[in-house]
Structure 1
């Protein structure tokens, strides 16, 4: 009897035997058919606290698939490193209808776990594997690395806004079980705001008490990372600080004194690099009637240079006008809002 064409579930089977004399006897039985692998489980989760486990033991739970004809007899699973390196490991656990207990990963690190089920009819399909969940195991001693930027008032902060060309100092510490780790190597990395690339820029070591100080280089707005690679006894650790660097432009004016109706030329150069290919957006501002007001919007060229001509037409008496350039923030320019120095023009009207 080929049951592959039957629908999943119970079926009534009747068999009749007849001998040569014409005597017949019928036997009726109920058979259960299941031709399909169990559907994917849902809601896979790890019981217990999140984060890295120091003991290599994980309990997992999930919701079983509905309308299963044959009972579930085992859970199959696959463990792969989150990095994608190395070979994956597969295994089975009896039962597994709603989860498995005391699962171990092959080694330290971060692993992705997927599971699919097998029923009593032997149906199982790897393509029905669950969505992955992450398992993290590391039995080495936890390490704490902290870093912060020194501010002008002597305190520290994880993020700071600084002037163009400044080199703030970062100070921090590396410790395990409350004790500083002396002479530990630290890597210093940097990622410019708006970039996906992180590059190594320096290395340093902690002092005898596990502390360190690092003077940053001049540059654009960026995140600076400090990383400890760990060893056979201690886990890796890291921390980062954020630097927002104010943009800056030079500013000069062709004439400091002019009659009403006269014309001046403002010019300058955006100092921060790299300048966007389309040039940097700038706002020329003048201070009058008690506040700074934008009177011109322009863009520099690719080299950051810019100029703008302006004619005074409505001044009466003798008036001193302060001028400056505001450099607004743009996604393509890795600097915070900045301003130039102030220049003054004395205008004499009628």
Structure 2
């Protein structure tokens, strides 16, 4: 009996439970050998005695104990092309070997065996396809991205990286009880989730991983522009005369830093009490004038910004308090009517410079590896040497229409962190999930969050 791994791979370690025996027959030789029959690594020689043994019969199914088992043997550091188990009958005067009667004369039994097979070559990959690879404009959400790949031992996963950090994994089902554990990946539809990325420019790579963990990675030929968030509120919203007797107001502001798509509009509302006017678009990105309050008294001006992808956040608008207080009238005075609103004219286009706040150092938070095996999901990442304490890791998935979340805390050690989720049986039907890593920041390091999506097949 022989086991041969795939061409191009070698057996580097052999762990096995066996019983080798000869009884009363001097010409037999049971053996276990590597690569050729003559390269014997385990045998029993009777040497004129009545019987001989190697190993024993103290093995049982699922035996995880090795130190007190005579049948167990561990051979690391091999480089073999096959494992051969056999019985050899040597030449003799009678030119034959007996087979016993009620008991066999010779046995070579393998109860259980585990082989470590080396695959030194990385996978072969095709050309990535989808908007995640070709888009040259500002993008948002999850972009289509796929990579076909192949390998002698098959493909175990397809991965996506952003700025060197793992953000998505398509985990495949592999069976490591066969020479070729995985199959080739004909589609590799992994997708590129941008929601967890900061708005701005990112370097994207996609890779294929074979059954041995070898990885072939290819970089996107151009940077990816992502924008999933609304611009921040305007900076320094002020009015030259926030209190007026003539019911005519103007205001100006500066644009905030924004790494996403260009800011294309400024919108505003006037509110008195619980009543707000209809939303209007300012004639300029940084100013509005000719504002008229519906009635005398206090009011507030709310201003927010809109980017080229239509993102806006009215609830996070900048606000400015205004007051219309007409002068008191004498007994014979005639009130002057409020001016008719005129079309606002834009102010000078050069905004007043606003000093930027001092920024904390980036924690350089990155997800380095995300994998699924059985019911376990394992995450590993790195962080800046300045960062200390711990990170919070949340795994989110959806089963039968219900969102489920698992949370772990991982202590930062030597600029690294890792954690493992063991999915409960109630989540056995889950096929995908999102892992988010958060660092709360400290005195000199800013907070950060990184997110990655993993999918797997059962």
TM-score by length of 2: 0.25
